[in-house]
Structure 1
Amino acid sequence: MDGDKVKAFIHRYEEVYFFAAKRVTAIVTEKVLEDITIEQYQILRYITMFPNCQATMLAEMCGVNKSAISAMIERLVQKGFVERMRDEKDRRNVFLESTAKGRGVYEKGEQQIQKFVSSYLTELSEEEIDTFLTVFEKISASMAMKERGNER
């Protein structure tokens, strides 16, 4: 593919992606996040979806270092959204779980996101949605693979 075509595709991707990301962030922030950032919401989402996860796993999933994830987790703990639990067999292992308050914030956020996104998905066929997600997953997997390759 020639350079001009690649530039045009990248430009289109940026316009679509940034507009959509901005809208979802605005909806979640406006309707859900009273005392939590979008990044903290994302961490809360992972912790709720993967109970008993560890900070290392979250750092990998979010593509940040362990100290950054630890700071975000600490803020969620202080707000009462997440709790740390030590492994009884090996006290060095710390597991994370969302509290009832945290699950409430997560569920409210998910409802708002579902409501917002589904209103636009009705404009597309199932095939179009599947194609979009397949392509987006391929891009995401490619990015993750290249990032892992750069770490070596």
Structure 2
Amino acid sequence: MEDSSIERYYSRLEAVFMEMVRRLHVELADQMISGITGSQFFVLKTIQGPGRLTVSEVAEKLGVSLSAITALVNRLVKAGLVVRSRDEQDRRLVWLEATARGKEILANCIEARRKVSNKYFGQLTVEDMEKLVEIYEKVLTAMRAEEKKKKP
């Protein structure tokens, strides 16, 4: 594809993507359970996936700094949604695990997000959804390849 065509499509994609993300963000924020932010939701969801993770693992999975994760985790612990526990064999390791209340709030948030997603993406055909996912996967694959090139 020519550079001018790529630029024209990229400009359209950027405009559409920015407005769509902004609108989804507002609607999803309205659906969040009181007392939990979007960032806290992603941390809780990341922890709950495997059941427990270390702070370092959460930071790595989300691609953010340890200090940022620590601040979010502190708020989740204070709210009673996450507990910290020391590893029995290696006391330097601190495990994070969702509490029963954290799991319940996470499930409620996921359900609210599912409803918002279904409202809009449910209007697409299965073929359109498949193509959309395939396109995003191709872009993500290219991003990962570039990241690998940069690492020593």
Fold shared by both chains (TM-score > 0.5): yes
Classify 1:83/1:59 alpha carbon distance in 2 versus 1 (closer, same or farther; 3 Å).
same
Greater shift, 12-21 or 102-111, is seen at 12-21
C-alpha distance after superposition, 1:70-90 (max 9, x if no partner): 222122111211111221111
Letter in 2 for 1:141: T
Name the CA distance, whole Å, in 2 between partners of 1:84 and 1:45.
Answer: 16
What SS is found at the alignment partner of 1:53? strand
Quote the offset at 1:151 in angstroms: 4.6
Moved more, 99-108 or 142-151: 142-151
- Tell me if structure 2 keeps the 8 A contact 1:24–1:113: no
Superposed CA RMSD: 1.9
Checking the alignment, whether the CA contact within 8 Å between 1:82 and 1:102 is kept in structure 2 is: yes
Partners of 1:44 and 1:102 within 8 A in 2: yes
Count matched residues. Answer: 152
Secondary structure of 1:84 counterpart = strand
2:28/2:116 contact within 8 Å kept: no
Contact 1:40 1:76 in 2 (8 A): yes
Q: 2:12 maps to which residue?
A: 12
Gaps of 5+ in 1: none
Unaligned runs of 5+ in 2: none
Which sits farther off after the overlay, 42-51 or 26-35? 26-35
Is residue 90 of structure 2 the alignment partner of residue 90 of structure 1? yes
User: 1:32·1:105 contact (CA, 8 Å) conserved in 2?
Assistant: no
Following TM superposition, the consecutive aligned residue runs of length 4 or more in structure 1 with deviations greater than 6 angstroms are none
Q: Does the 8 A contact of 2:58 with 2:69 survive in 1?
A: yes
Aligned to 1:117: 117
CA–CA separation in structure 1 for the residues paired with 2:144 and 2:33: 28
5 Å-filtered alignment, 1:25-64, equals: 25-64=25-64
With structure 2 as the length reference, what TM-score do the two structures score?
0.86
Asked if 2 retains the 8 angstrom alpha-carbon contact of 1:28 and 1:109, the reply is: no
Q: Does residue 69 of structure 1 match 2:35?
A: no
**Residues 113 and 65 (structure 1), Cα distance of their counterparts in 2 relative to 1, 3 Å cut:** same
Give the Cα–Cα distance (whole angstroms) in 2 for the partners of residues 6 and 49 of structure 1: 38
Question: In structure 1, what residue type is equivalent to 2:119?
Answer: S
Q: Deviations over 1:38-81 (max 9, x none)?
A: 11211111112221112222222221122222222122111211
TM superposition score normalised by structure 1: 0.86
State, as a whole percentage, how many aligned pairs show the same letter: 29
